[in-house]
């Protein structure tokens, strides 16, 4: 699982559907971050979150059909999801404060960026993963079941199951 094998697809952030979803989520995130009401998150993500705990503030620009939470998930405060490519979080996952999930890839060519070209890759977090505070998860990364990601790590490549991985860039330091 060393390479990022999850598919890359074109992303058009200025299409009406994308603009509408970001506007909807902006309104819902403001409401959730000022009240902490779970019902607002359920509307944002389109499902009951009975066994999911998400602490405010949360920053997320896409909701329904973009972020999937497993059972017994805990997301600590001040996390950021930019899930245009999709973020899937498995069961029994713990996410520390200030963790960021980014799925968008912007071109290196400045002209292409100016033209609004971009692509996305999904992020997949396996069951029973722990992600330490301040970690950054980049596009196309899959973190295998039972892994631990150290605080402050920048995860640029997929991590095999049952690994302890740390650093910038994040590297496996042992298997468990």
Catalytic residue IDs: 106
End-to-end CA distance of the chain: 16
Beta strands per DSSP E along 56-161 = 58-60, 67-69, 73-75, 79-82, 87-89, 94-95, 100-102, 104-105, 118-120, 123-125, 130-131, 136-137, 142-143, 148-149, 154-155
Instruction: Classify residue 36 by its DSSP letter.
Output: -
Q: Identify the bridge partners of residue 142 per DSSP, sorted by sequence position.
A: 124
CB atoms within 10 A of CB 4: 18
């Amino acid at each position: 699982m060393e390479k990022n094998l999850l598919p890359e697809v074109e992303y058009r952030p200025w299409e009406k559907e994308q603009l509408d979803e970001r506007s909807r989520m902006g309104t819902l995130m403001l409401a959730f971050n000022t009240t902490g009401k779970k019902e607002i998150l359920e509307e944002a993500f389109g499902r009951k979150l009975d066994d999911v705990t998400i602490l405010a503030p949360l920053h997320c620009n896409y909701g329904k059909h973009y972020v999937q939470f497993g059972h017994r998930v805990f997301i600590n405060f001040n996390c950021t999801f930019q899930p245009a490519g999709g973020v899937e979080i498995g069961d029994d996952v713990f996410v520390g404060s200030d963790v960021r999930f980014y799925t968008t890839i912007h071109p290196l060519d400045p002209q292409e960026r100016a033209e609004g070209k971009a692509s996305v890759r999904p992020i997949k977090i396996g069951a029973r993963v722990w992600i330490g505070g301040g970690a950054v998860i980049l596009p196309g990364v899959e973190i295998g079941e039972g892994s631990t990601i150290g605080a402050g790590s920048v995860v640029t490549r997929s991590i095999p199951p049952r690994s302890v991985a740390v650093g910038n860039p994040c590297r496996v330091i042992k298997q468990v």
